[in-house]
Homo-oligomer: A and B are copies of this chain.
Amino acid sequence: MPRYEVLSEAQLLEIDRGWKRILSEIGIQFDHPDALELFRKAGQRVEGDVVFLDPEFVTAMVAQAPSEFTLHGRNPARQMHVGGDWMAFAPVSGAPFSSRRGVRREASFADHVDLCKLCQVFDELDTPASLVCEPNDVPMDSRHLQIQRNVLTLTDKPYMGASISGLATADSIRMAEIVFGSREAIEARPVMFVIVNCNSPLRWDTRMLEAMMTCAAAGQAPMLTPFLLMGAMSPVAIGAALAQQTAEAFSALALCQLIRPGGPVIMGSFLSNTDMQSGSPGFGGPESALGLLCSGQIARRYNIPWRSGGGGLTSSPAVDAQAGYESFNTLNSAFLAGASVVMQSTGWLESGLVASFEKFIMDIEIVKMLQVQYTPIEIDLAFDAHQEVGHGGHFLGAAHTLERFRDCFYRPMLSTTENWDRWTRNGQKDAYTRASDLVDRTLERWERPSIDDGVLLELDEFVARRTTELGD
């Protein structure tokens, strides 16, 4: 289906002028000597820790990045195509709290396991990412090892490497080498992406740069993400935010291309607004939607894969009507914008602080709906059915209907069309309660994906050794 384009060519040119001016006149701060050295060698002007980037150099680096690539799952049938006309979906990522059957609490390792299982069961998700919630009961220093082990053993899809530090990213890559056979294997066929957030405005910090450079060097896909809440990390104007987002993402993209020419990269976007009354972030409103639509146009202009912030965003603290319409707004906008990777598609609640199991189910339903909704239509005039039924009759028993009734329409998983009497007999379960039931039933459907015993042993030995080394 076609994309929905809201910016005119003149407006796109204006935004182009904007990011070029930011890069060349204000520059980007890179808190890492290796990054500064790489840019210096590439002929860019470096003053202190600020790099002033030549727009022509940046444009050349962007053109050098692949317009599409594939991440390979442990299961060869699970591939994640990134870029081009593909859309891939990832669940909530990074939530410190979990919520299930009305209980909101610090997220735990058990929550992480169950959320990974949901990611494995639902074919709508191309990847579990990895940090579906923070397993707060696992010691911090070695937590990334347990998270990576979970996604590598409970799921068999392409996934996300750790990015809390360069060391954590290196550990992720080492674990991938164990599972996929060798460094050469994953360099030839990348298996993971790594989210790297900009310390917006206009600054990449040491920790993120180490993760980014480690990821790029290994031929995995860095997801270069300016996280912009207009009013806090960017000006309160969508044009300014888009120019800044492009400048920040492209500056990192250029660095990644210097490290590994032609290596896979994903332009990131996470653009919404600050609620200027409460000072809290606002997700799911018009600003989130416009951020998505505009970012898609910019990414297509440069023919590079891009991630949307969401998918599935809401500021609501409850899985209520607000969560329903805000989540739909961002997921639908991600479809209209043609996001290559829709992050935070399922389970995000309370501005991302909570991984909600019920919201996860609700968002899967929305993704299912939208996948049908944005499938190109085929025209069947069914003139014989009209001739058969004539005037004032009905089509329930028409031959055309009987041949097609099983799969002619979208069949909901969560939504109900029950009438009041039947709904009442069935306990007046609202969408939240029905989603709770579906969580339980879905977890029962999970099957452990097979893994070679020797590989599992080596993985566990690595995790044990590194856990000891990291001092937990």
Contacts and interface: CB of A to CB of B under 8 A. Distances in A.
Interface of A: 1-2, 4-7, 11, 14-15, 17-18, 21-22, 25-29, 50, 104, 199, 201-203, 205, 230-240, 243-244, 273-278, 280-282, 284-287, 289-290, 294, 315-329, 332, 336, 350-351, 353, 362, 365-366, 369-370, 372-373, 376-383, 385-387, 389-396, 398, 400-401, 404-406, 408-412, 414-420, 422-423, 428, 430-432, 435
A318 B431 contact: yes
B7 A4 contact: no
Instruction: Give 10 closest A-B pairs by Cβ, nearest first.
Output: A324-B324, A239-B379, A240-B382, A321-B324, A286-B373, A235-B382, A29-B391, A325-B328, A203-B392, A236-B408
Name the residue in A231, A235, A321 with the highest tally of chain B Cβ atoms < 10 Å from its Cβ. A321
Contacts of A431: 316, 318, 320-323
18 contacts: A11-B379, A25-B387, A234-B395, A236-B400, A236-B401, A237-B382, A244-B386, A274-B409, A280-B418, A281-B417, A282-B417, A285-B412, A285-B415, A317-B423, A324-B324, A326-B415, A329-B373, A351-B417
A410 B2 contact: no
A350 B415 CA distance: 12
Contacts of A332: 328-329, 332
Given A234-B395, A380-B240, A315 B390 contact: no
Contact of A236 (B239, B285, B405): B405
A300 to B, nearest CB: 16
A401 to B, nearest CB: 5
Contacts of A243: 381
Name the residue in A232, A390, A409, A416 with the highest tally of chain B Cβ atoms < 10 Å from its Cβ. A409
Copies in the complex: 2
A321 to B, nearest CB: 4
B294 A408 contact: no
A322 B290 CA distance: 23
A458 to B, nearest CB: 41
B202 A386 contact: yes
B11 A317 contact: no
Given A201-B391, A237-B381, A285-B372, 14 more contacts: A2-B4, A22-B383, A29-B391, A201-B395, A202-B391, A202-B392, A237-B400, A273-B409, A276-B405, A285-B412, A286-B410, A316-B416, A317-B419, A322-B415
Contact of A277 (B284, B400, B411): B411
Contacts of A286: 369-370, 372-373, 409-410
B26 A318 contact: no
Nearest to A383: B21
Nearest to A198: B392
A10 to B, nearest CB: 9
A233 B385 CA distance: 11
Contact of A379 (B14, B205, B353, B406): B14
